[in-house]
Chain A
Amino acid sequence: MSLSPSTEIDLAVVRDLLSHIRPNDDQEAQELILAALQEINEHFGWVSLAAARLVAEHLGTTENRVYGLLTFYADFRTEPRGKHFMLVCHGMSCYALGSQRLVQHLQDGYGIGDGDTTADGELTIQVVNGCLGVCDRAPFVKLDHDFHGDLTPDRLDAVLGQAFSRGAPGER
């Protein structure tokens, strides 16, 4: 497996995802733009410009509008993810119990802030401004499909070290 993420997503898969989205009228088509983007983002971890064009074409709208949505809603990425993807909860419970220290540590130790990917392509993080809802295990992260709570900067290092040595999670 290559370390550097591919810079385009498989448009055939995008077409297949879109083929299941069949609006009955123009209003419903507009209501489904976000849903279509969510499916693509969920599948690939990001939405490329070419994929956004396909969405626009499929739902009868402009690529400007689709890209406007991609850049407004925080869940979407317009660049590929690293091998591992980590949500860092920055809700108030996590804040009150030290998530700021984790964010700081990721900046100092790994050189990444919200939305960034490490230079070696191993890790992308997203700082979640809302709440992941596991407040009694704060501060809390979701790394790929696994949950880790009660974190300190040292424990976060251990969690990341383990994940890096395991390699990327399987393609979904």
Chain B
Amino acid sequence: MSRTHATPVNAVDARLPASGRLADRAAFEAFRAAATRRWDDLWSVERMVVSVGVDSSSLAKGAVEVLAACRRELTGSDAVVREVSGNGALWMEPWVEIKRPGQPPIVYANIDPSEVPALLTGSLEERALGVRDGDAFGGIPALDDHPFFRHQERIVLRNVGVIEPESIEDAIARGAYSAYFQVLFEMSAEEAIAEVTASGLRGRGGAGFPAGIKWESGRKAKARPKFVICNSHEGEPNVYKDRRIHEGDPHRILEGILIACVVCGAERGYNYIGGEYPLAIQRFRKAVADAERLGLIGQDVLGSGKSVAFRVRTGGGAYICGEGSALMFSIMGVRGQPRTKPPRSVEEGIWKRPTIANNTETLANIPDIITRGGAWFAGIGTEGSKGTKLMTVQGPVKTMGLVEVPMGISLRTLVEDVWGGMRDGSTFKGIQTGGISAGPLRDDHLDIPVDFDSMTELGGMLGSGGFVVFDQTVCVVDFARYMTAFNRYESCSKCVPCRLGNPALVEVIDRIRLGRGSLADLALLERTSKHIIELSLCGLGQVAPMPLLGMMKMYAEEFRAHIEEGVCPTGTCPISVAPSALVAAD
């Protein structure tokens, strides 16, 4: 390859492997070898490699313009400019990674498009944040030594921010479809399920059901056809993990679904993606199209005699469709309203056929469990919660972002170290856990380990791993109203306790916020909550009052101040502002 090549992208792509349908296992192995050589060349040849992290959060901050500026500046050179995905660190965005000849890849944070020329000519070195995937270099520390990355163990996120998400060659060079290859040719379904069971992997969508047990009953189900669903709806107001996997490493999710199909004997896989995430949908569809082109999806995959079909479906902005049965109804083109169980979905799911439904993150863990073994996975995490967990945070912390940490890390380490502690002017008041399905924890609870079981005694929950830190300016009564009003709006209206109970809760909370509450209202809130919890049909209804109950338990004195003293200590509620200001925002 010439170092004076005029079209930089082609300089690398000249080594692209043939990209037609791969007829058999040898063809796949040859493709993988070629893709790996291309990847190694990219990083070893004496050439500048510039990577810009573009995902749904960084593109709102100008990452696309930064990428365009890099391409413009480097036109005519032999440099390679790559569009990778963000790496989860929202606080770094937009970031640019530059590998200069003879140097390791160095990441520069918070780059404005106007700064790109200076950045590329090397006169913006003071903005270097760290060296990716290596040791300190020339006074620049390793990125992995930064507190945000130091505690992370990246399995699911291993390729996120590293590969070009729209390149199946990049993904395969970094190991994609190797586990799929194994279950197609080298491993029986029983062996694969044994690894998943041995791994101790529990569902990452919130409930924590053991994945191995679900797969085993899915495999044993007799009716045909069978389906696998990946639940990528992620409709909670405080979680952004699954869309980041889609944006950064879509092939990992697709591989997990395909493995589930082969192992459980399902004819067709589905991925149901929330409609709010256009970039996630776009990149995942590209991944499916590429996998189809190579023959990794379709009839007689790689000559194995096994066939898998695939469909992508997208949601319409209804939170309830994250509930398993509602999601299946949505796929079937009806309103997403949950049904009573049993029958469970492994017995009767989509089109009344056995359906194995897993969360995105659960399936994204599968490839590594197959290639590295269940025992390896079980060596990470705690007794009851194995592996790593994606966690997201919102609120006034310094280094906000998505991280992947081993189960069992303390909440304090997460808040104070990984997420950098509170921003200037903010004092920690509490942390809402479990998305919108559990209660908050206070400063005196922060030393507990984060896993499926430890937080539940205190009324918290791991759930899907979405945390919200809030400070002294947030009124817990108002916060509880926000979350209860969310449930009121998002109730699917099928069953009475949820449909009427949540509006009733909001009414009572509003009475308190207006300064017209009485102590009897607190008892009324608890009683109504109990009815919703015990009588609602689906899992989402059954946990709807949990944030309110948690707030009432953890901050009882603040609720009482509204009622007994007629003041809102933070000055948020209408008690302390004009009476006309009570407008519902839901």
Contacts and interface: CB of A to CB of B under 8 A. Distances in A.
Interface stretch (B331-339, B404-412, B560-568): B331-339
A90 B316 CA distance: 17
A96 B394 contact: yes
B311 interface: yes
B240 interface: yes
A149 B275 contact: no
Contacts of A86: none
Given A100-B585, A136-B57, A136-B400, A93 B316 contact: no
B432 interface: yes
A37 B316 CA distance: 10
B317 A30 contact: no
Contacts of B41: none
Interface residues of B, number: 60
B579 to A, nearest CB: 14
A151 interface: no
B394 A93 contact: yes
B474 interface: yes
**Size category of the binding interface on chain A:** 35 or more
A96 B60 contact: no
Contacts of A30: 332-334
A149 B60 contact: yes
A147 B60 contact: yes
B414 interface: no
Contact of A92 (B60, B237, B331, B335): B237
B132 interface: no
A31 interface: yes
A92 B394 contact: yes
A134 B237 contact: no
A134 B91 CA distance: 10
Interface string A92-134: 1101110110011001000001100000000000011111111
Interface string B385-420: 000000010111000110000000000000000000
B396 A96 contact: yes
Contacts of B161: none
B276 A128 contact: yes
Contacts of A34: 313-314, 316, 330, 333
Given A76-B316, A134-B60, A135-B90, A31 B474 contact: no
Interface string B298-342: 000000000000010111111100000000001111111000000
A133 B393 CA distance: 11
B437 interface: no
Contacts of B330: 34
B60 A93 contact: no
A74 interface: yes
B336 A129 contact: no
A93 B585 contact: no
Contacts of A75: 275-276, 316-317
Given A93-B238, A104-B581, A69 B335 contact: yes
A91 interface: yes
A162 interface: no
B490 interface: yes
B335 A32 contact: no
B542 to A, nearest CB: 19
Most chain B CB within a 10 A radius of its CB, from A68, A91, A142:
A91
Nearest to A97: B396
B74 to A, nearest CB: 26
Nearest to B60: A147
A74 B237 CA distance: 14
A116 B94 CA distance: 34
A136 B235 contact: no
Contact of B239 (A68, A69, A131): A131
A138 interface: yes
A93 B333 contact: no
Contacts of B218: none
A158 interface: no
B203 interface: no
B363 to A, nearest CB: 20
A171 B585 CA distance: 31
Contacts of B239: 131
Given A75-B275, A129-B486, A129-B490, A95 B237 contact: yes
Contacts of B275: 38, 75
A92 B61 CA distance: 20
B351 interface: yes
A74 B90 contact: no
Contacts of A35: 313-314
Most chain B CB within a 10 A radius of its CB, from A30, A73, A133, A138:
A133
A101 to B, nearest CB: 10
B149 interface: no
A17 to B, nearest CB: 16
A82 B550 CA distance: 41
Most chain A CB within a 10 A radius of its CB, from B91, B333, B394, B489:
B333
Contacts of B336: 72-73
A35 to B, nearest CB: 7
A99 B474 CA distance: 12
Contact of A72 (B56, B335, B392): B335
A131 B400 CA distance: 15
Contacts of B238: 91-93, 131
Contacts of B318: 72-74
A53 interface: no
B274 A130 contact: yes
A11 to B, nearest CB: 22
Contacts of B316: 34, 37-38, 69, 72-76
A4 B80 CA distance: 48
20 contacts: A30-B334, A31-B311, A65-B334, A72-B318, A74-B317, A76-B316, A92-B237, A95-B237, A96-B468, A113-B583, A127-B585, A128-B276, A129-B490, A130-B317, A131-B236, A131-B276, A132-B56, A136-B57, A136-B401, A137-B57
Interface of B: 56-57, 59-61, 90-91, 93, 234-240, 243-244, 274-277, 311, 313-319, 330-336, 351, 392, 394-396, 400-401, 432, 468-471, 474, 478-479, 482, 486, 489-490, 492, 581, 583, 585-586
Given A31-B313, A135-B57, 9 more contacts: A33-B333, A72-B336, A73-B315, A73-B318, A73-B336, A90-B586, A104-B581, A133-B243, A147-B60
